[in-house]
Amino acid sequence: MQALIDRVYDATIDDSAWCGLGDQIARTFGSTSAVLKVQDSKERIHLVDMTPNLMVDPKHQDWAEHWHRNDLWVEKSVAFGMSKIVTNRDLVPDDEFERTDFYGDWIRHLDIYHMIGAVFPVGEDTIGILGIHRPERAGSYENADRRRLAGFLPHLLRAFQLRQKLAKAQLGAAAAFDALERSGGAILVVDGDRSVLFANRIAEQVLRQTREFCLAQGKLDVRQSDLSSRLAGLVQRCVQTASSAMDSPGGTFAIRREGKLPLTLTVAPLRPMAAGCGVSQPAALIFIRDPEALTASAQMSRELFGLTRTEAAVAQALAEGRALNEIAEALGIGMGTVRSHLKQILAKTGTKKQAQLVALLLRCITNP
Domain CATH for 31: 3.30.450.40
Rounded Cα distance between 302 and 308, Å, is 6
What's the whole-model pTM score?
0.56
Contact call for residues 89 and 96 (beta carbons, < 8 A)? no
251 and 358 share a domain? no
pLDDT of residue 166: 57
pLDDT of residue 183: 47
User: Quick one: DSSP state of residue 195?
Assistant: B
137 and 73 share a domain? yes
Rounded Cα distance between 339 and 332, Å, is 14
226 and 85 share a domain? no
Instruction: Write the CATH number for 331.
Output: 1.10.10.10
Ranges in the chain, pLDDT < 50:
168-175, 179, 182-183, 274-277, 366-368
247 and 357 share a domain? no
Which of 259, 289, 319 is the endpoint of a domain? 289
pLDDT of residue 278: 52
The SS3 of residue 54 is helix
What is the domain count for the chain? 3
pLDDT of residue 28: 95
- Calculate the CA 184 to chain-centre distance: 18
9 and 109 share a domain? yes
Q: pLDDT digits over 30-58, tens only?
A: 999 999 999 887 778 888 999 999 988 88
Strands (E), the chain: 33-40, 45-50, 86-87, 114-123, 126-134, 186-190, 196-199, 213-216, 219-222, 251-257, 260-270, 283-289
Residue-number span of the structural domain to which 7 is assigned: 2-167
Torsion angle of C-alpha atoms 215, 216, 220, 225, degrees rounded to 10: -120
162 and 186 share a domain? no
Q: pLDDT digits over 80-114, tens only?
A: 899 999 999 999 999 999 999 999 999 999 999 99
206 and 311 share a domain? no
